[in-house]
C-alpha cells in the first residue's frame, strides 16, 4: 500500500503543475460537475426517447441514426463548453487588472499553455468516456459497425482539441475588457456558425460513410491517406495555435517569433513535399493549388502580425544575435522584429508562388477544369501583393503621421482600416454616386479577385489583370518608401557593443 502511495506521489511530481491545479479546480468546482450531469441527462433522455419510439424495432438503420444524434450532442458539448470553460478561465487569469500570479512563477510559458491544453483534453476525455457506453450501445441497434464508431469519435476528438487550442489563443490575447468581450462574442458566433453545420453534416455524412461501413475500408490506402491527413492537419494546427499562445504570454523581451517561424517554415516544407507526392499519385493539381492558396493566405495574415511587432530590439534579444554575418542574416528573418517579420512573410509568399510556377511548368497537363493555371496563380499573386502593400502601407502611415498617437503594436488596426476603406467605403461611395454596381470597383482590394475566383466569374481574367496592375503599383510604392526603414532595421540588427551609437535602453511596448 505504501509502495503504491509513494509511486502515485512520484507520478504526481512528474505532472505539469497546471494540469494538477486545473483538474483539482474542475473537480472541486461546480461548473464542470453541472455540465457533466446535464450532459449525461441529455444523453439518457435522448436514448430513452429513441428506444421508446417504434422505429427502433422496425428500422435496420436505428443504430446509425442514434449514433449520429449522440455524436452531434457530444461534439456540441466538446466544442462549446470545454473550450468556453478553458478560454474564459484563461482570459480572466490574464485580465489586465488582475493577472494571475501563476504567470510570474518560474513556470515556462510552454508549460502553462500545454498544461491548460492537457487539462482541457482530460475534461474532454471525461465527456467522451461518459458518452462511450451510449455510443457502443448503438452497435447493438444495427446499422453501424464498431470501427465506424471509434474512427468518428477519434475524428471529432481532434476537432474538439483544435477548438480547445483556439479558445486558449483567444484567452491569451492581450486586450482590455471591451475587446475581450468583442472577441468572446465573435468566438460564440463562430462556434454557432460552425457547430450547427457540423452537426447537420454529421447527420448526413456518416450516413453515406456507413452505407459501406468504415470497417470495410480500414485496410485500404484511401482510408489511411484521409485519416493521416486529418491527423497530421489536426496536430499541425494544434501545434501552431499552441506556439502562438506561448508567444502571446512570453515576456516582451523574449524572442517570441523564433519558434513560431521555425515551425511554420518546417510545416511549409513538409506539407509541400506531402502535397507534391499526393498530386503526382492522383495526377491532379488540386492538392498543390490548395496548399499554395492556404500558405499565401497564412503568410498574408503573418504580414499583418509582423508589422505590429516591436521595431527596437531589447538587450536580451540583441545578446542572442549571431556575430557571423550569414548567420545574422538568417537570424534577421526568424527573430522577433517588425522588419524581419515582413521580409520572412514576404519571402514565404514568394517561395510558395515560385513553387506553384515550377509545378505548373513541370506538370502542365495537371491543370484542367474551369480555371486555368494563369488565373489561379494570378489570384494568388494579387493576394500576396496586397498582403504586402496594406500592412507595410499602414506601418508607413503610422511612422510618418501617427508615431505619437498609435503604438507600434496597433499597426495591424491601421492596416485593417485601410483594407476596409478600399473594400467597402470607396465601392459604396461609387455605388451611391453612380447608382450602379461594377465589379471593377473592388480592384483595389484582394477581396474582389478572391470573390470572382470563388464564383468562377466570366470576367475573372480581366479583373485579375487589372487588379494585378494596381497591386504591383501599390507594392512597389510602399516597398520603395519603406527602403530607408528596412535599411535602418537591418543596420540596427546587431549584437550589443557593435553599434553603440544606436544603442538605447528603451523597452518599447509591442
Q: Which positions lie near other proteins, rule CB under 8 A?
A: 9-10, 13, 17, 20-21, 24-25, 28-30, 97-99, 101-108, 251-253, 314-316, 319, 505-509
Angle, CA 425 vertex, CA 423 and CA 426 arms, to 5°: 80
Burial letters 368-384, b for 16+ CB under 10 A, else e: eeebebebbbbbbbbbb
Least distance in Å: CB of 106 to other proteins?
A: 5
Minimum CB separation of residue 79 from other proteins in Å reads: 24
Nearer to other proteins, 85 or 291 (CB): 85
Of residues 24 and 488, the one with the C-beta less far from other proteins = 24
Smaller CB separation from other proteins, 484 or 509? 509
Smallest gap, in angstroms, from Cβ of residue 194 to other proteins?
A: 30
Q: How far is CA 136 from CA 28, 114, 130, 141, 142, in A?
A: 30, 31, 11, 10, 11
Give the phi and the psi of residue 149 in degrees, each rounded to 5: -60, -50
**Complex with other proteins: residue 178 or 483, whichever CB lies closer:** 178
Closer CB to other proteins, 173 or 227, in the complex:
173
Of the pair 43, 317, the CB lying nearest other proteins is at 317
Beta strands, E only, 377-431: none
Alpha carbon distance 89, 115 (integer Å)? 13
- CB 68, min distance to other proteins, A: 36
DSSP code string of 31-94: HHHHHHHHHHHHHHHHHHHHHHSTHHHH-SSHHHHHHHHHHHHHHHHHHHHHHHHHHHHHHHHT
Q: Which is nearer to other proteins, 253 or 423 (CB)?
A: 253
Distant-in-sequence contacts of 292-297, Cβ < 8 A, 24+ apart? 292/352, 292/353, 292/355, 292/356, 292/380, 293/380, 295/268, 295/271, 295/348, 295/349, 295/352, 296/349, 296/352, 296/353, 296/380, 296/383, 296/384, 296/387, 297/383
Q: Shortest approach of other proteins to residue 252 CB, angstroms?
A: 5
Residue closest to 342 by CA, chosen among 366, 375, 309, 306? 306
CB of 457 to other proteins, least distance (A): 46
Grid look-up 503604438 returns 407
Nearest distance in Å: CB 481, other proteins: 28
Residue number, 18 or 464, with CB nearest to other proteins: 18
Question: At closest approach, how far in Å is the CB of 256 from other proteins?
Answer: 13
Amino acid at each position: 500500500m505504501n509502495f503504491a502511495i509513494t509511486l502515485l506521489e512520484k507520478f504526481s511530481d512528474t505532472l505539469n503543475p497546471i494540469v494538477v491545479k486545473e483538474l483539482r479546480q474542475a473537480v472541486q468546482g461546480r461548473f464542470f460537475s453541472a455540465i457533466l450531469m446535464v450532459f449525461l441527462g441529455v444523453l439518457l433522455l435522448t436514448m430513452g426517447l429513441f428506444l421508446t419510439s417504434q422505429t427502433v424495432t422496425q428500422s435496420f438503420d436505428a443504430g446509425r441514426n442514434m449514433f449520429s444524434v449522440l455524436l452531434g450532442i457530444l461534439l456540441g458539448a466538446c466544442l462549446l463548453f470545454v473550450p468556453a470553460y478553458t478560454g474564459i478561465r484563461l482570459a480572466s487569469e490574464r485580465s489586465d487588472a488582475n493577472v494571475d500570479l501563476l504567470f510570474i512563477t518560474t513556470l515556462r510559458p510552454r508549460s502553462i499553455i500545454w498544461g491548460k491544453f492537457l487539462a482541457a483534453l482530460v475534461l474532454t476525455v471525461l465527456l467522451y468516456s461518459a458518452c462511450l457506453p451510449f455510443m457502443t450501445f448503438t452497435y447493438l441497434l444495427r446499422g453501424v459497425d464498431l470501427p465506424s464508431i471509434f474512427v468518428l469519435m477519434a475524428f471529432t476528438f481532434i476537432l474538439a482539441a483544435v477548438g480547445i487550442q483556439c479558445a486558449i489563443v483567444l484567452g491569451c490575447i492581450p486586450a482590455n475588457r471591451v475587446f475581450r468581450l468583442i472577441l468572446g462574442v465573435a468566438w460564440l458566433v463562430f462556434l454557432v456558425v460552425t457547430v450547427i453545420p457540423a452537426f447537420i453534416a454529421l447527420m448526413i455524412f456518416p450516413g453515406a460513410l456507413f452505407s459501406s461501413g468504415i470497417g470495410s475500408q480500414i485496410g485500404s490506402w484511401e482510408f489511411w491517406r484521409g485519416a493521416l491527413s486529418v491527423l497530421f492537419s489536426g496536430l499541425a494546427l494544434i501545434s501552431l495555435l499552441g506556439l502562438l499562445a506561448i508567444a502571446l504570454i512570453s515576456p516582451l523581451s523574449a524572442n517570441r517569433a523564433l519558434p513560431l517561424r521555425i515551425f511554420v517554415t518546417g510545416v511549409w516544407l513538409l506539407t509541400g513535399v506531402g502535397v507534391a507526392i499526393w498530386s503526382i499519385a492522383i495526377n491532379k493539381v488540386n492538392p498543390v493549388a490548395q496548399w499554395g492558396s492556404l500558405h499565401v493566405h497564412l503568410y498574408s495574415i503573418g504580414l499583418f502580425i509582423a508589422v505590429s511587432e516591436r521595431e527596437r530590439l531589447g538587450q536580451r534579444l540583441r545578446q542572442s544575435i549571431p556575430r557571423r554575418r550569414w548567420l545574422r542574416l538568417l537570424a534577421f528573418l526568424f527573430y522577433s522584429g517588425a522588419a524581419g517579420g515582413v521580409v520572412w512573410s514576404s519571402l514565404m509568399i514568394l517561395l510558395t508562388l515560385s513553387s506553384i510556377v515550377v509545378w505548373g511548368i513541370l506538370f502542365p497537363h495537371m491543370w484542367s477544369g474551369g480555371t486555368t493555371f494563369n488565373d489561379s496563380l494570378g489570384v494568388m499573386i494579387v493576394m500576396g501583393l496586397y498582403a504586402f502593400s496594406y500592412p507595410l502601407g499602414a506601418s508607413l502611415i503610422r511612422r510618418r503621421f501617427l508615431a505619437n498617437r498609435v503604438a507600434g503594436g496597433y499597426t495591424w488596426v491601421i492596416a485593417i482600416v485601410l483594407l476596409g476603406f478600399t473594400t467597402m467605403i470607396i465601392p459604396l461611395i461609387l455605388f451611391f454616386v453612380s447608382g450602379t454596381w461594377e465589379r471593377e470597383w473592388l480592384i483595389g482590394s484582394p477581396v474582389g479577385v478572391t470573390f470572382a475566383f470563388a464564383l468562377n466569374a466570366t470576367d475573372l481574367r480581366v479583373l485579375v489583370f487589372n487588379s494585378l496592375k494596381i497591386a504591383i503599383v501599390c507594392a512597389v510604392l510602399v516597398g520603395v518608401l519603406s527602403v530607408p526603414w528596412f535599411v535602418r532595421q537591418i543596420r540596427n540588427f546587431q549584437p550589443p557593443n557593435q553599434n553603440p551609437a544606436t544603442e538605447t535602453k528603451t523597452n518599447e511596448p509591442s
